[in-house]
Amino acid sequence: GAGVSQSPSNKVTEKGKDVELRCDPISGHTALYWYRQSLGQGLEFLIYFQGNSAPDKSGLPSDRFSAERTGGSVSTLTIQRTQQEDSAVYLCASSFFRGYGYTFGSGTRLTVV
């Protein structure tokens, strides 16, 4: 597609429920990144994919967080047993040349009530 597409744009969920966030990167971009922005915070790195593999998962906050990427394209970030501190904007980005700048999606605003 023309840009990075994320869905849903907004998600309100009850504490303890599981959520899935989707990212559709720019066609041909092999690198895909997940970041999150909590209130008053910067962009916190979560996980990086090169193709379908995730060489760097160092930013995932806990084992409740997981992500996968299939076909070198769409990625899904799953949060199990959501907690209120998971409330944030989850941003996906993709790039062709690693480290030289990303194109971000508009993000998914997750609210855990």
State the residues that interact with other proteins by CB under 8 A.
Answer: 4, 31, 33, 35, 40-43, 45, 48, 50, 55-56, 91, 93, 98-107
Integer CA distances (angstroms), 12 to 9, 43, 61, in order? 10, 21, 20
Q: Is residue 34 within 8 Å of 91, Cβ to Cβ?
A: yes
For other proteins, which is the closer residue by CB, 13 or 50?
50
Q: What are phi and psi of 84, to 5 degrees?
A: -60, -30
Task: State whether residue 85 is helix, strand or coil.
Answer: helix
For other proteins, which is the closer residue by CB, 43 or 80?
43
Smallest distance, other proteins to C-beta of residue 16, A: 27
Residue position matching structure tokens 């922005």: 37
Smallest distance, other proteins to C-beta of residue 48, A: 4
For other proteins, which is the closer residue by CB, 18 or 68?
68
Smallest distance, other proteins to C-beta of residue 18, A: 24
**In the 8-state DSSP scheme, what is residue 51?**
T
Residues 6+ apart with CB under 8 A from 73: 24, 25, 27
Smallest distance, other proteins to C-beta of residue 111, A: 14
For other proteins, which is the closer residue by CB, 41 or 84?
41
